Amino acid sequence: MMVEIAIFAAIGLVLDQISFKMWAQGGSISFVMIPIILMAIRWGLTAGLATGLLIGVMQMMFGAYIVHWLQAILDYGLAFTVVGLAALVRKPLLQASLSLNKGKMTLYIIIGALIGGSLRFVSHLLAGVIFFKEYAGDENVWTYSIIYNSSYMLPATVITAIIAVLLFTSAPRLLQKVQQV
């Protein structure tokens, strides 16, 4: 499990570099949530949270935009860690996988991606409201932060859900842990 966490965290960091930059101040549409969700579903909550945390920490090491230590925690540490909560759908997803029910598998994968993406959005939203309010100008800071962060988080979450559905339904063996001999 630990080896896979390290490998998928590195893959997540690389996938985050392959992104569509939306704004000069940060925020991009990337595939970074896919390895986090894969680990969360494959190994469970601990692995999902650990993978997300490692990705967030590595992003801070390799060129994060940080204005305050709390903003760093919200935008990097917490934002990517909570994507691992997609593991909440692990048990029913594995049951659907065993019965080869691709419809239920699809539903649970989408729910997991929505959980992870929504919680990441909330973390970025709070960082925006607290630390980037000067960019809102005369606009309400909450409205500004919701629009700003949803402009990249909504497409990123939808893309993540689509790719995860395609991956897991076409190769359900990805959902299973490697058994030690």
Contact predicate 15/61, CB 8 Å: no
- Per-residue DSSP letters for 35-69? HHHHHHHHH-HHHHHHHHHHHHHHHHHTT---SSH
* pTM tops 0.85, yes or no: yes
Q: Which domains, and CATH codes, for the chain?
A: 2-175 (1.10.1760.20)
Average pLDDT over residues 148-160: 93
The pLDDT value recorded for residue 181 is 46
pLDDT in tens, 44-73: 999 999 999 999 999 999 878 888 989 999
Q: pLDDT > 90: what percent of the chain?
A: 60
Bridge partners, residue 29, by sequence: 20
